[in-house]
Amino acid sequence: MKMRRGGLRRLAALGVGLFLAAAWSPAAEPTPLPLTAGVMFDHMSRTVVWEGETEASRVGVNCVSLRAGFDLGRGVTLGLSAGLALSDFDALAFLDLPISLELGSSVLKGVALGAEIEAVLLDLGDFEIGAAGRFVSSFGLARTWTLEDFAVPGRAKGRTNWMEASAGPRLAYHLSGGFVPYLEVAARWFRVDVRMKETLEDLQDAEKKRINGDFSFSASLGGDIRLSDRFTVRAKAGIVPHAGGAGVSASLGLLFAF
């Protein structure tokens, strides 16, 4: 379903509230790792309904990024990331152009920038109750296709921009051997637009497909595996329910502590 403006404000307020609560939380300090850096792979697929349409379709994103993490103290860590996003759209058609086009299996590239915050709100020994929030935005790079089998030269140019915000609680358990599994529930807000411009000699037109704000929830299982004092493997997989079919999210990365 689409998220109204009030819903977006509530999600933003939730993220700010989680950060403020963490900043003033009296939770015990974990072993500090002032700086981490590494590489992450993220996958996301969502079932969506484009504006003006009734049938559900799928949006898929794969992202490879470099990540830097900063320990802010008092159980709060900040992560920043930058990388390349590859987006694909299931049977997305542009019917208002001079020549109708369908993206099919075509992939659109973008530069993805992200920020995330994780906080320990309550330390119960082996258990931790915390919160996590994340914002990622992809700025599209144009892709051009040549229109073939026409008497005159033609081309189409497409690009996509999208952003996602999520926030929610996390329950973690510290096992022996440096393994920390956790359960995370999050509210998620997603916005995307795909723009296509077509030129066929003197004919020229453009069309945009968009989703102004899709609101959903997700449940994920994840874990950090400490391989050594310096290296940690981070993994997470979850499900994003939707009336037209569930989506999934997954991430895998290797982090190095300085």
Domains and their CATH numbers in the chain: 5-26+34-257 (2.40.128)
Cα gap 240→242, rounded to integer Å: 7
Residue-level pLDDT at 90? 85
**pLDDT reading at 185 higher than 50:** yes
Cα gap 96→197, rounded to integer Å: 11
pLDDT tens readout for residues 92-102: 889 888 888 88
The more confidently predicted of residues 91 and 109 is 109
User: Percent of the chain, pLDDT > 70?
Assistant: 86
| CA-based nearest residue to 92, from 180, 189, 160 | 160
* Mean pLDDT within 115-142: 95
Cα gap 258→37, rounded to integer Å: 8
| CA-based nearest residue to 216, from 253, 165, 163, 160 | 165
Total Cβ atoms within 10 A of residue 118? 20
142: left (phi over 0), alpha (psi -120 to 50) or beta: beta
Global pTM reads 0.81
Ranking 106-110, 134-138, 177-181, 252-256 by mean pLDDT, the lowest is 177-181
